[in-house]
Protein backbone atom coordinates (compact mmCIF):
# COMPACT_ATOMS: atom_id res chain seq x y z
CA UNK A 1 0.00 0.00 0.00
CA UNK A 2 1.23 3.46 -0.90
CA UNK A 3 0.12 6.85 0.36
CA UNK A 4 -0.98 8.74 -2.73
CA UNK A 5 -2.24 12.30 -3.02
CA UNK A 6 -4.29 13.35 -6.06
CA UNK A 7 -4.74 17.04 -6.79
CA UNK A 8 -8.02 17.35 -8.67
CA UNK A 9 -9.34 13.94 -9.59
CA UNK A 10 -13.00 14.91 -9.48
CA UNK A 11 -14.02 14.17 -13.08
CA UNK A 12 -13.36 12.09 -16.19
CA UNK A 13 -10.19 9.97 -16.14
CA UNK A 14 -9.00 11.64 -12.92
CA UNK A 15 -12.09 10.39 -11.09
CA UNK A 16 -11.51 6.91 -12.50
CA UNK A 17 -7.87 7.04 -11.41
CA UNK A 18 -8.93 7.77 -7.82
CA UNK A 19 -11.35 4.83 -7.91
CA UNK A 20 -8.66 2.53 -9.32
CA UNK A 21 -6.09 3.60 -6.73
CA UNK A 22 -8.60 2.93 -3.96
CA UNK A 23 -9.53 -0.47 -5.43
CA UNK A 24 -5.84 -1.40 -5.57
CA UNK A 25 -5.60 -0.91 -1.81
CA UNK A 26 -3.73 2.39 -1.63
CA UNK A 27 -4.36 5.13 0.91
CA UNK A 28 -5.69 7.98 -1.24
CA UNK A 29 -5.97 11.65 -0.37
CA UNK A 30 -7.74 14.04 -2.76
CA UNK A 31 -7.20 17.80 -2.72
CA UNK A 32 -9.72 20.05 -4.42
CA UNK A 33 -11.74 23.18 -3.70
CA UNK A 34 -14.60 21.22 -2.18
CA UNK A 35 -17.19 21.31 -4.93
CA UNK A 36 -16.98 17.56 -5.59
CA UNK A 37 -16.39 15.10 -2.74
CA UNK A 38 -14.32 11.99 -3.47
CA UNK A 39 -15.73 8.47 -3.13
CA UNK A 40 -16.06 6.84 0.32
CA UNK A 41 -12.75 5.68 1.71
CA UNK A 42 -10.78 8.60 0.27
CA UNK A 43 -9.39 11.33 2.52
CA UNK A 44 -10.60 14.73 1.36
CA UNK A 45 -8.65 17.95 1.87
CA UNK A 46 -10.30 21.20 0.79
CA UNK A 47 -7.94 23.88 -0.48
CA UNK A 48 -7.35 26.16 -3.45
CA UNK A 49 -4.06 25.06 -4.99
CA UNK A 50 -3.40 28.65 -6.08
CA UNK A 51 -3.35 29.73 -2.41
CA UNK A 52 -0.02 28.49 -1.07
CA UNK A 53 -0.84 29.24 2.56
CA UNK A 54 -4.18 27.44 2.36
CA UNK A 55 -2.58 24.48 0.60
CA UNK A 56 0.21 24.02 3.13
CA UNK A 57 -2.22 24.49 6.00
CA UNK A 58 -4.54 21.81 4.62
CA UNK A 59 -1.60 19.41 4.14
CA UNK A 60 -0.47 19.83 7.73
CA UNK A 61 2.18 17.24 8.57
CA UNK A 62 1.07 14.71 5.94
CA UNK A 63 3.59 13.01 3.69
CA UNK A 64 3.02 10.88 0.62
CA UNK A 65 4.82 8.33 -1.48
CA UNK A 66 3.47 9.87 -4.69
CA UNK A 67 1.52 13.00 -5.67
CA UNK A 68 -0.52 12.97 -8.89
CA UNK A 69 -1.34 16.44 -10.19
CA UNK A 70 -4.34 16.44 -12.51
CA UNK A 71 -4.94 20.19 -12.65
CA UNK A 72 -1.62 22.00 -13.06
CA UNK A 73 -1.84 24.46 -15.94
CA UNK A 74 0.77 27.16 -15.27
CA UNK A 75 4.34 27.60 -14.03
CA UNK A 76 3.00 29.62 -11.11
CA UNK A 77 0.85 26.69 -9.97
CA UNK A 78 3.83 24.38 -10.43
CA UNK A 79 6.08 26.60 -8.34
CA UNK A 80 3.53 26.67 -5.51
CA UNK A 81 3.17 22.89 -5.60
CA UNK A 82 6.93 22.36 -5.76
CA UNK A 83 7.39 24.34 -2.57
CA UNK A 84 4.38 22.80 -0.81
CA UNK A 85 5.38 19.19 -1.52
CA UNK A 86 9.17 19.50 -1.46
CA UNK A 87 9.52 17.66 1.86
CA UNK A 88 6.24 15.77 1.64
CA UNK A 89 6.72 13.35 -1.27
CA UNK A 90 9.41 11.36 -3.04
CA UNK A 91 7.68 11.33 -6.44
CA UNK A 92 5.39 13.67 -8.37
CA UNK A 93 3.41 12.80 -11.51
CA UNK A 94 1.79 15.57 -13.56
CA UNK A 95 -0.85 15.07 -16.24
CA UNK A 96 0.27 16.98 -19.31
CA UNK A 97 -0.93 17.04 -22.92
CA UNK A 98 -0.16 16.39 -26.58
CA UNK A 99 -0.70 20.10 -27.06
CA UNK A 100 2.87 20.76 -25.89
CA UNK A 101 3.88 19.46 -29.34
CA UNK A 102 1.55 21.71 -31.34
CA UNK A 103 3.83 23.57 -33.77
CA UNK A 104 1.24 26.33 -33.96
CA UNK A 105 2.00 27.31 -30.36
CA UNK A 106 5.81 27.24 -30.21
CA UNK A 107 8.95 27.07 -32.32
CA UNK A 108 9.79 23.36 -32.11
CA UNK A 109 12.54 21.31 -33.73
CA UNK A 110 11.62 19.97 -37.15
CA UNK A 111 10.94 16.25 -37.55
CA UNK A 112 10.61 14.24 -40.78
CA UNK A 113 7.16 14.56 -42.27
CA UNK A 114 4.80 11.92 -40.90
CA UNK A 115 7.05 10.93 -37.99
CA UNK A 116 5.29 10.76 -34.60
CA UNK A 117 7.31 12.99 -32.29
CA UNK A 118 9.25 11.63 -29.30
CA UNK A 119 9.30 13.27 -25.88
CA UNK A 120 12.66 14.99 -26.46
CA UNK A 121 11.14 17.43 -28.97
CA UNK A 122 9.96 19.42 -25.93
CA UNK A 123 12.63 19.21 -23.23
CA UNK A 124 11.41 20.70 -19.93
CA UNK A 125 14.97 20.84 -18.61
CA UNK A 126 15.77 23.63 -21.08
CA UNK A 127 12.37 25.27 -21.62
CA UNK A 128 12.14 28.97 -20.74
CA UNK A 129 9.92 29.74 -17.73
CA UNK A 130 8.06 33.06 -17.41
CA UNK A 131 6.16 33.29 -14.14
CA UNK A 132 5.66 37.03 -14.71
CA UNK A 133 3.13 36.49 -17.53
CA UNK A 134 -0.59 36.96 -16.72
CA UNK A 135 -1.28 33.30 -15.94
CA UNK A 136 -4.00 34.35 -13.49
CA UNK A 137 -6.10 35.74 -16.35
CA UNK A 138 -8.54 33.10 -17.60
CA UNK A 139 -8.57 34.36 -21.18
CA UNK A 140 -4.77 34.46 -21.34
CA UNK A 141 -4.52 30.97 -19.89
CA UNK A 142 -7.02 29.55 -22.37
CA UNK A 143 -5.10 31.09 -25.26
CA UNK A 144 -1.78 29.80 -23.92
CA UNK A 145 -2.82 26.39 -22.60
CA UNK A 146 0.01 24.49 -24.31
CA UNK A 147 2.67 26.95 -23.17
CA UNK A 148 1.36 26.85 -19.60
CA UNK A 149 1.79 23.07 -19.58
CA UNK A 150 5.29 23.28 -21.07
CA UNK A 151 6.41 25.79 -18.47
CA UNK A 152 4.78 23.87 -15.60
CA UNK A 153 6.73 20.76 -16.61
CA UNK A 154 9.90 22.87 -16.71
CA UNK A 155 9.39 24.18 -13.16
CA UNK A 156 8.92 20.69 -11.72
CA UNK A 157 11.86 19.31 -13.70
CA UNK A 158 14.33 21.96 -12.58
CA UNK A 159 13.13 23.32 -9.25
CA UNK A 160 11.42 20.49 -7.35
CA UNK A 161 13.01 18.45 -4.59
CA UNK A 162 11.48 15.15 -5.73
CA UNK A 163 11.51 12.77 -8.68
CA UNK A 164 9.23 14.16 -11.39
CA UNK A 165 7.40 12.56 -14.30
CA UNK A 166 4.87 14.00 -16.72
CA UNK A 167 2.27 12.04 -18.69
CA UNK A 168 1.58 13.79 -21.99
CA UNK A 169 -1.88 12.61 -22.97
CA UNK A 170 -3.21 12.28 -26.49
CA UNK A 171 -6.69 13.55 -27.36
CA UNK A 172 -8.92 11.78 -24.83
CA UNK A 173 -12.20 10.22 -25.91
CA UNK A 174 -14.83 8.19 -24.13
CA UNK A 175 -18.54 7.97 -24.79
CA UNK A 176 -21.59 9.25 -23.00
CA UNK A 177 -21.38 11.52 -19.99
CA UNK A 178 -17.64 10.88 -19.72
CA UNK A 179 -16.88 12.60 -23.03
CA UNK A 180 -17.02 16.02 -21.46
CA UNK A 181 -15.09 17.89 -24.13
CA UNK A 182 -17.97 17.57 -26.58
CA UNK A 183 -15.63 16.80 -29.48
CA UNK A 184 -16.94 13.33 -30.24
CA UNK A 185 -20.50 14.63 -29.87
CA UNK A 186 -19.67 17.35 -32.41
CA UNK A 187 -19.12 14.71 -35.09
CA UNK A 188 -21.94 12.42 -34.03
CA UNK A 189 -24.44 15.28 -34.16
CA UNK A 190 -23.24 16.62 -37.51
CA UNK A 191 -23.11 13.24 -39.20
CA UNK A 192 -26.44 12.24 -37.73
CA UNK A 193 -28.14 15.43 -38.91
CA UNK A 194 -26.41 15.61 -42.28
CA UNK A 195 -24.59 18.83 -41.37
CA UNK A 196 -21.33 19.65 -43.09
CA UNK A 197 -18.06 19.07 -41.23
CA UNK A 198 -15.44 21.76 -41.81
CA UNK A 199 -12.06 20.20 -42.65
CA UNK A 200 -8.74 21.27 -44.10
CA UNK A 201 -7.81 20.35 -47.66
CA UNK A 202 -4.86 18.18 -46.66
CA UNK A 203 -5.73 16.79 -43.24
CA UNK A 204 -3.01 15.06 -41.26
CA UNK A 205 -3.50 12.29 -38.69
CA UNK A 206 -3.23 12.58 -34.93
CA UNK A 207 -3.37 10.25 -31.92
CA UNK A 208 -6.08 9.41 -29.40
CA UNK A 209 -6.50 7.55 -26.12
CA UNK A 210 -9.55 6.19 -24.33
CA UNK A 211 -10.19 7.69 -20.91
CA UNK A 212 -10.03 4.23 -19.28
CA UNK A 213 -6.66 3.50 -20.87
CA UNK A 214 -5.33 6.86 -19.72
CA UNK A 215 -6.49 6.13 -16.16
CA UNK A 216 -4.71 2.76 -16.39
CA UNK A 217 -1.52 4.42 -17.60
CA UNK A 218 -1.64 6.99 -14.80
CA UNK A 219 -2.10 4.18 -12.28
CA UNK A 220 0.94 2.46 -13.79
CA UNK A 221 2.99 5.66 -13.77
CA UNK A 222 2.03 6.27 -10.14
CA UNK A 223 2.49 2.85 -8.61
CA UNK A 224 4.27 0.42 -10.92
CA UNK A 225 7.30 2.28 -12.23
CA UNK A 226 9.80 4.91 -11.17
CA UNK A 227 10.65 6.57 -14.50
CA UNK A 228 11.25 10.29 -14.59
CA UNK A 229 10.75 12.87 -17.31
CA UNK A 230 7.96 13.03 -19.87
CA UNK A 231 6.20 10.02 -21.36
CA UNK A 232 3.68 10.10 -24.21
CA UNK A 233 0.32 8.40 -23.67
CA UNK A 234 -1.53 7.44 -26.85
CA UNK A 235 -3.16 4.35 -28.25
CA UNK A 236 -1.53 2.66 -31.22
CA UNK A 237 -2.71 3.76 -34.66
CA UNK A 238 -2.98 7.27 -36.07
CA UNK A 239 -6.30 8.52 -37.43
CA UNK A 240 -7.18 11.59 -39.43
CA UNK A 241 -10.54 13.34 -39.29
CA UNK A 242 -11.91 11.32 -42.21
CA UNK A 243 -11.08 8.01 -40.52
CA UNK A 244 -12.67 9.21 -37.28
CA UNK A 245 -15.82 10.27 -39.11
CA UNK A 246 -15.82 6.93 -40.93
CA UNK A 247 -16.08 5.02 -37.66
CA UNK A 248 -19.00 7.21 -36.61
CA UNK A 249 -20.64 6.77 -40.01
CA UNK A 250 -20.43 2.99 -39.65
CA UNK A 251 -22.24 3.23 -36.29
CA UNK A 252 -24.91 5.68 -37.42
CA UNK A 253 -25.53 4.51 -40.97
CA UNK A 254 -25.14 8.10 -42.21
CA UNK A 255 -22.36 9.29 -44.49
CA UNK A 256 -20.45 12.41 -43.42
CA UNK A 257 -20.64 15.58 -45.48
CA UNK A 258 -17.49 17.72 -45.68
CA UNK A 259 -16.77 21.36 -46.40
CA UNK A 260 -13.16 22.28 -47.14
CA UNK A 261 -11.90 25.44 -45.46
CA UNK A 262 -9.16 27.71 -46.72
CA UNK A 263 -5.71 27.67 -45.14
CA UNK A 264 -5.73 29.48 -41.81
CA UNK A 265 -9.48 29.23 -41.32
CA UNK A 266 -10.89 27.32 -38.33
CA UNK A 267 -12.05 23.75 -38.88
CA UNK A 268 -13.72 21.06 -36.84
CA UNK A 269 -11.78 19.53 -33.92
CA UNK A 270 -9.17 16.93 -34.94
CA UNK A 271 -8.86 18.38 -38.45
CA UNK A 272 -5.18 19.29 -38.52
CA UNK A 273 -3.25 20.88 -41.36
CA UNK A 274 0.01 20.52 -39.44
CA UNK A 275 1.93 17.50 -38.19
CA UNK A 276 0.50 16.76 -34.74
CA UNK A 277 1.09 13.18 -33.61
CA UNK A 278 3.37 11.67 -30.99
CA UNK A 279 5.20 8.39 -30.44
CA UNK A 280 4.38 6.05 -27.55
CA UNK A 281 7.65 4.11 -27.90
CA UNK A 282 9.06 5.24 -24.54
CA UNK A 283 6.04 4.07 -22.56
CA UNK A 284 6.23 0.70 -24.31
CA UNK A 285 9.94 0.40 -23.53
CA UNK A 286 9.11 1.10 -19.88
CA UNK A 287 6.55 -1.72 -19.90
CA UNK A 288 3.12 -0.30 -20.71
CA UNK A 289 1.01 -1.95 -23.43
CA UNK A 290 -1.43 0.12 -25.48
CA UNK A 291 -4.60 -0.85 -27.31
CA UNK A 292 -5.36 0.17 -30.89
CA UNK A 293 -7.58 3.19 -31.38
CA UNK A 294 -9.97 1.34 -33.69
CA UNK A 295 -10.41 -1.37 -31.06
CA UNK A 296 -12.13 0.98 -28.61
CA UNK A 297 -13.42 3.85 -30.75
CA UNK A 298 -16.57 2.06 -32.05
CA UNK A 299 -17.61 1.32 -28.44
CA UNK A 300 -17.01 4.93 -27.44
CA UNK A 301 -19.21 6.07 -30.32
CA UNK A 302 -21.95 3.62 -29.33
CA UNK A 303 -21.84 4.85 -25.74
CA UNK A 304 -22.09 8.46 -26.92
CA UNK A 305 -25.06 7.58 -29.13
CA UNK A 306 -26.97 5.96 -26.29
CA UNK A 307 -26.16 8.27 -23.36
CA UNK A 308 -26.44 12.03 -22.79
CA UNK A 309 -23.29 14.08 -23.13
CA UNK A 310 -22.14 17.18 -21.32
CA UNK A 311 -21.39 19.61 -24.14
CA UNK A 312 -18.40 21.89 -24.06
CA UNK A 313 -16.60 24.19 -26.45
CA UNK A 314 -14.65 21.99 -28.89
CA UNK A 315 -11.46 23.88 -28.01
CA UNK A 316 -11.69 22.77 -24.37
CA UNK A 317 -8.58 20.67 -23.60
CA UNK A 318 -9.25 16.99 -23.01
CA UNK A 319 -6.66 16.68 -20.30
Chain-wide mean pLDDT for the chain? 90
User: Is residue 56 classed as helix, strand or coil in its secondary structure?
Assistant: helix
In this predicted structure, which of 164-173, 178-187, 194-203 has the lowest mean pLDDT? Answer: 178-187
Beta bridge partners of 172: 209
pTM of the model: 0.92
Residue 310 has pLDDT above 70, yes or no: no
Residue 309 has pLDDT above 50, yes or no: no
pLDDT above 90 coverage of the chain, percent: 73
pLDDT computed for residue 307 by the predictor = 67
Burial of 108 (C-beta count, 10 Å sphere; 0-12/13-18/19+): middle
Q: How far apart are CA 18 and CA 65, in angstroms?
A: 15
**174: containing domain:** 3-306
Of 6, 93, 71, nearest to 42 by C-alpha is 6
Give per-residue pLDDT as tens, 66-75: 999 999 999 9
Whether 266 is covered by a domain: the verdict is yes
Whether 211 is covered by a domain: the verdict is yes
Residue 180 has pLDDT above 80, yes or no: no
Q: How far apart are CA 71 and CA 155, in angstroms?
A: 15
The set of residues, in sequence order, having a beta carbon less than 8 Å from that of 38 and lying 6+ positions away, is 9, 10, 18, 28, 30, 44
What CATH number has the domain bearing residue 214? 3.40.50.720
Whether 265 is covered by a domain: the verdict is yes
Q: How far apart are CA 185 and CA 292, in angstroms?
A: 21
Q: How far apart are CA 187 and CA 153, in angstroms?
A: 32
Cα radius of gyration (the chain)? 19
pLDDT computed for residue 103 by the predictor = 87
pLDDT computed for residue 263 by the predictor = 80
Taking phi first (over 0 means left), then psi (-120 to 50 degrees means alpha), and beta for anything else, what does residue 41 get? Answer: left
pLDDT computed for residue 93 by the predictor = 97
153 compared with 9, residue with greater pLDDT: 153
Whether 311 is covered by a domain: the verdict is no
User: In this structure, are residues 69 and 8 in contact, taking their beta carbons and an 8 Å threshold?
Assistant: yes
Whether 118 is covered by a domain: the verdict is yes
Which DSSP helix (H) or strand (E) runs through 163?
strand 163-169
pLDDT computed for residue 318 by the predictor = 42
**Mean pLDDT score, 159-188:** 83
pLDDT computed for residue 177 by the predictor = 54
Measuring CA to CA, how many Å separate 309 from each of 7, 178, 303?
25, 7, 10
Whether 29 is covered by a domain: the verdict is yes
Whether 181 is covered by a domain: the verdict is yes
pLDDT computed for residue 161 by the predictor = 87
pLDDT above 70 coverage of the chain, percent: 94
Whether 44 is covered by a domain: the verdict is yes
Residue 317 has pLDDT above 60, yes or no: no
Measuring CA to CA, how many Å separate 221 from each of 92, 126, 232, 308?
10, 23, 11, 31
pLDDT computed for residue 308 by the predictor = 60
31 compared with 312, residue with greater pLDDT: 31
User: Is residue 158 classed as helix, strand or coil in its secondary structure?
Assistant: helix
Band (pLDDT 50/70/90 cuts) for residue 34 is: confident
Give per-residue pLDDT as tens, 256-302: 999 999 887 889 989 988 888 999 999 999 999 999 999 999 999 98
Burial of 84 (C-beta count, 10 Å sphere; 0-12/13-18/19+): buried
pLDDT computed for residue 69 by the predictor = 97
In this predicted structure, which of 13-27, 41-55, 104-118, 149-163 has the lowest mean pLDDT? Answer: 104-118
User: Is residue 28 classed as helix, strand or coil in its secondary structure?
Assistant: strand
User: Is residue 109 classed as helix, strand or coil in its secondary structure?
Assistant: coil
Query: Strands 3-7 and 27-32, how do they pair?
Result: parallel
Q: How far apart are CA 11 and CA 24, in angstroms?
A: 19
User: In this structure, are residues 185 and 305 in contact, taking their beta carbons and an 8 Å threshold?
Assistant: no
pLDDT computed for residue 179 by the predictor = 59
**Mean pLDDT score, 119-139:** 95
User: Is residue 166 classed as helix, strand or coil in its secondary structure?
Assistant: strand
145 compared with 308, residue with greater pLDDT: 145
**Mean pLDDT score, 32-55:** 91
User: How many domains does the chain contain in total?
Assistant: 1
pLDDT computed for residue 89 by the predictor = 96
Amino acid sequence: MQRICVIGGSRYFGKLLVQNLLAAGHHVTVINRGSTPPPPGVEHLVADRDDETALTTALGSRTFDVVVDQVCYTPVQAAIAARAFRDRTARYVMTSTIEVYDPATAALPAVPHGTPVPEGIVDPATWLVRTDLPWHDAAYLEAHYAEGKRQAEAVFTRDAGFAFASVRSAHVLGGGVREFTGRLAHYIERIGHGTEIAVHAGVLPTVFIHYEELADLLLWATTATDFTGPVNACSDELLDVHALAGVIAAQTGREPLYRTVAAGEPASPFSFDRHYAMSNARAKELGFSFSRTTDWLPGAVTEALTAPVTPATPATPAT
